[in-house]
Amino acid sequence: MRKLTRPLLFLLACLVYAGCSSTKSLKPGQALYTGAEVKINPDSAGKIEDEKQVKADLESKTRPRPNKSILGIKYKLGIYNLAGEPKKPKGFKNWLRKQGEPPVLLSEVKLKYNNDVLTSYLISEGYLQASVTGDTVVKDKKAKAIYTAVTGNRYKINKVNFPPDSGVLTRIINQNKEKTLLKVGDYYDLDVYKNERIRIDNDLKENGYFYFSPDYLIMQVDSTIGKNLVNVTVKVKDIAPDAGVKPYTIKNINIYPNYTLRRDSALRKLQPLQYHDFNIYDDRNTFKPRLFDRLVFFQKGELYNRRDHNQSLNRMVNINAFQDVRAEFLPVDSFKNNQLDLNIYLTPLKKNSLTFSVTGTSKSNNFVGSEVKVTQTTRNLFRGAEQLDVSVSGGFETQTRGTSLGRNSLSLTAEGKLTFPRFIVPFYKPNSTTAFIPKTIASLSYQMLNRGGEYTLNAFKGEFGYNFKENLYKEHNFNPISLSYISTRFPSDTTRTRLFTENPLLRATLENQFIIGSNYNFTYTNQMETNRRNNTYFFGGIETGGNVWGLFTPTNNLGQKTLFNTPLTQFVRLEADLRDYYKVNRNVTWANRLNIGYGYAYGNSTSLPFVRQFFAGGSNDIRAFPARTLGPGTYKVPDNALFADQGGDVKLMLNSELRFKLVSVLYGALFVDAGNVWLRKEDPLRPGSEFKLKNTLNELAVGTGAGLRVDATIFVVRLDVAFPIRKPYLPEGQRWVFDDISFGNKDWRRQNLIFNIGIGYPF
């Protein structure tokens, strides 16, 4: 650590020195530009509304921007000066200079240009009598620009006039004027006027006015009526072209499902297949014609409308069958009538593709390993845009630390998934008209896990269900049929007896079992709205096992419901995950998560099956504790335990993380995690494991730490280091361990510091 600290301190000292001497390299007569300051109505006692925000907005619009700085240190300029003038076109100094930033000089400041920009901005915000004047101040080779803004009073809307009803177009505008964004009493705002033109344009597009444009509307503002009020008149420009002011209907709908530029002329000469309102030009019968009933919402003879246009495009893109989608609307007879031909050009994706991936893993439970995966994708399997994915993967893990050093684990997985771009429901044909394609998904998988020659676990799983996006924010997943069968083989009865004797908890994990049930998940998110100050994510899920099948399956001599002489697991499992992302400013985000889960086992089962239990600890959970080692309750897994997987029927987890930008794609984080898992009923082998609501807060584990993230948008690599500050397995009154923290103590670091490497954010 000492070897690393000294170079870092030296580099920091160099940057501070270079930043402090930022004017040293300037030539005579030059001055370093340090930024702009805006003064609003300095000679007036009155203040404008939101003066602080207006001042910040005005300062952000000045150009040029000064050299970047952190805590007042112009670090990029410091790097530039530290490198000096390179003597060679290549080399370290040349590279270092490119990482820096040349000085921004006062001579680059254009006062008149900035005056005009700031004045224009104030006028657009309703200060119609505003004026801005700029000046510069130079001291010790450093200069700043000072802009004085005299705003005058801010104008409000007194009255809004819409065009008189003189035809179909103006009638549509008047029919929707109640939705206007121009409200009497609101401040004059140029952006609102622009959005009002777009709103009117959208209304007209929904009624056939394909060639209309917001530019054909003008907002006439009369500010001479006095009392700082304006009258606004909405008018269609007299110079608007004829094509823009008449509605259009759809005449022919021509679809080219297997289109390429090379075959363009040949396809147009084909005799089309007439299917409903569509003319399909495809001599290779690439897709079944009925597919386009679900993709194209237009019908012959109807008025053009933007809703059908957008929904058709979205569906053709989201179906994942085409690499290129293009819709072309052409006027029939060169604008002489009011009809459009719709030509849809679709270029399919390759029917077959093969992907290969290699993954390296490093887990917080001291296992490292790798996995190789090969996936074969077959598209348009039954000529209805279906997709079949078949994958095979194999991997290994080995334990590098802990009581079982060198223990190996081998796995082999095979999975097949068939996706239909429609609902398949017996005796019912649901019809979806949203922009998103509903899907029916059938999957079958098998996994073999060999744990160091001690046992071999075989897991079979089959599911049939539906995926449906209600809109951009809401998504539903419903699997009415979900079947899992878990079977375990041991090298010998002796090995089986030894494992269960050393760790009785393994019995619940490794006994043969059937899980047959249903599950439903709901997801809501508005994270795609990046302009929001606050974003939310919610996931809720319910899963049942053995409910219906338990009514029909026989009972063995132990009173257990069985299927093929294997106990049937019976349970209900609920989970909710709520996340909130609050943008403190452009470079700082405060992220929070609440994750709760509850499982109720009945009939054959006293607790949730191991593969459906909740776990705590690990890189995406409570990061100060190794994966799956926390709980249940106040129980602590022995240090010499053969396996540390500690599951529970109840889970409570809270995370809070402050994320901030450091430089370029490097981000930092400070976080606190809290939570635990419990069993619904006490396990005599794990004292303190029972969930009791009154003891919940007293049995929470708490950890804290810091992290670095490389966020390159397309991928995120994460390194977190965390340590516990509350250990629930200690005696009451001793669970907070602040007094034990000792970063300088090697033994404390070895026992408490947990390093987590991950891909993507933890939540």
Q: How far is CA 536 from CA 413, 655, 657, 757, in A?
A: 35, 15, 15, 25
Q: Would you place residue 281 in the very low, low, confident or very high pLDDT band (cuts 50, 70, 90)?
A: very high
pLDDT score, position 374: 95
Instruction: Confirm if 287 and 383 have CB atoms less than 8 A apart.
Output: yes
Q: Domain boundary residue among 199, 227, 245?
A: 245
Does some domain include residue 506? no
Does some domain include residue 417? no
* pLDDT higher than threshold 90 for residue 26: no
Residue type (1 letter), 451: R
503 or 104, higher pLDDT: 104
Does some domain include residue 63? yes
Q: How many domains does the chain have?
A: 4
Torsional class of 760: left (φ above 0), alpha (ψ -120 to 50), beta (otherwise): left
Same domain assignment for residues 238 and 254:
no
Q: Would you place residue 494 in the very low, low, confident or very high pLDDT band (cuts 50, 70, 90)?
A: confident
Compute the half-sphere exposure of residue 65: CA atoms within 13 Å on the CB side of its CA: 7
CATH number for the domain that contains residue 195: 3.10.20.310
Same domain assignment for residues 280 and 343:
yes
Same domain assignment for residues 625 and 699:
yes
* For range 641-667, the mean pLDDT: 87
Other CB atoms closer than 10 Å to residue 103's CB: what's the count? Answer: 21
Q: Would you place residue 591 in the very low, low, confident or very high pLDDT band (cuts 50, 70, 90)?
A: very high
Same domain assignment for residues 254 and 241:
no
Does some domain include residue 510? no
* For range 743-758, the mean pLDDT: 89
Q: Domain boundary residue among 245, 278, 293?
A: 245
Q: Domain boundary residue among 102, 127, 150?
A: 150
* pLDDT higher than threshold 60 for residue 91: yes
Same domain assignment for residues 194 and 277:
no
pLDDT digits (tens, 9 = 90+) for 670-728: 999 999 999 998 888 889 999 999 999 999 999 999 999 998 877 788 999 999 999 99
80 or 9, higher pLDDT: 80
Q: Give the residue numbers spanning the domain of 299.
A: 249-348
CA Rg, the chain, in Å? Answer: 34
273 or 100, higher pLDDT: 273
Same domain assignment for residues 272 and 321:
yes
* For range 93-105, the mean pLDDT: 87
365 or 380, higher pLDDT: 380
pLDDT score, position 501: 67
Instruction: Confirm if 464 and 480 have CB atoms less than 8 A apart.
Output: yes
pLDDT score, position 353: 95
Which of 3-7, 559-563, 724-728 tops mean pLDDT? 724-728
Q: Are strands 367-379 and 352-362 parallel, antiparallel or unpaired?
A: antiparallel
Does some domain include residue 19? yes
Same domain assignment for residues 166 and 23:
no
Same domain assignment for residues 37 and 65:
yes
* pLDDT higher than threshold 50 for residue 4: no
**Is the alpha carbon torsion for 610, 612, 616, 619 positive or negative?**
positive
Same domain assignment for residues 281 and 306:
yes
CATH number for the domain that contains residue 672: 2.40.160.50
- Nearest Cα to 157, choosing from 196, 126, 200, 124? 126
pLDDT digits (tens, 9 = 90+) for 592-621: 999 999 999 887 677 788 788 999 998 889
* pLDDT higher than threshold 70 for residue 557: no
Please report where in the chains the tokens 């920009």 appear, as a residue. Answer: 117
Q: Are strands 322-331 and 278-280 parallel, antiparallel or unpaired?
A: unpaired
Span of 186-195, 451-460, 726-735 with lowest mean pLDDT: 451-460
Provide the strand spans (E) within 407-509: 408-420, 439-451, 455-469, 474-489
pLDDT > 90 fraction of the chain, expressed in percent and rounded: 63
* For range 652-662, the mean pLDDT: 95
Torsional class of 472: left (φ above 0), alpha (ψ -120 to 50), beta (otherwise): alpha
Q: Would you place residue 521 in the very low, low, confident or very high pLDDT band (cuts 50, 70, 90)?
A: very high
Residue type (1 letter), 472: L
Mean pLDDT of the chain: 88
Does some domain include residue 216? yes
Cα 288–289–295 angle (5° rounding)?
Answer: 105
* pLDDT higher than threshold 70 for residue 3: no
711 or 229, higher pLDDT: 229
198 or 44, higher pLDDT: 198
Q: Would you place residue 70 in the very low, low, confident or very high pLDDT band (cuts 50, 70, 90)?
A: confident
Instruction: Confirm if 393 and 372 have CB atoms less than 8 A apart.
Output: yes
352: tokens are 């077959």
pLDDT digits (tens, 9 = 90+) for 188-199: 999 999 999 999
Does some domain include residue 491? no
pLDDT score, position 584: 92
* pLDDT higher than threshold 50 for residue 403: no
Same domain assignment for residues 146 and 171:
no
**Is the alpha carbon torsion for 622, 624, 628, 630 positive or negative?**
negative
pLDDT score, position 96: 84
Q: Would you place residue 399 in the very low, low, confident or very high pLDDT band (cuts 50, 70, 90)?
A: low
pLDDT digits (tens, 9 = 90+) for 529-554: 988 999 999 999 999 988 776 566 66
272 or 45, higher pLDDT: 272
pLDDT score, position 47: 84
pLDDT digits (tens, 9 = 90+) for 139-192: 989 999 999 999 999 999 999 999 988 889 999 999 999 999 999 999 999 999
pLDDT digits (tens, 9 = 90+) for 288-335: 999 999 999 999 999 999 999 999 999 999 999 999 999 999 999 877
Same domain assignment for residues 61 and 45:
yes
Same domain assignment for residues 659 and 617:
yes
pLDDT score, position 554: 65
Model confidence, pTM: 0.78
Does some domain include residue 271? yes
pLDDT score, position 1: 45
* pLDDT higher than threshold 90 for residue 10: no
- Nearest Cα to 604, choosing from 674, 657, 549, 668? 549
